[in-house]
Amino acid sequence: MLTFTSYTVENVRDPFGILSGKRYEFVINLDVPEDDELYEENGISARVIVKVEEEQTSIVSYDLLETTSGRILDFDMEEDEEAALVLFCTEHLPA
């Protein structure tokens, strides 16, 4: 089970107005147990782009990163982890 420890969120600007809905970029620090395959000694972060359209929030894309180096990790989250990520982002959208 993932634990979200801290995060930042920014509005993704669409200067040409070609994207539907609003986009936000979250960078979320994760606390991953040592026995999890995602575990990295230097920490794990998720960089997530979410789309909000008509009260629906969905993940457009995400990358898992080693926190200290920013190196992209070649892992995918499980469905329940992705669902938890969407819920976290939905609850922490800027007002």
Residue keyed to tokens 């995918």: 76
Q: How many helices (H) and strands (E) does the chain have?
A: 1, 5
Q: What is the pLDDT of residue 15?
A: 85
pTM above 0.85, yes or no: yes
pLDDT (tens digit per residue) in 45-94: 999 999 999 989 999 999 999 999 999 999 899 899 999 999 999 999 99
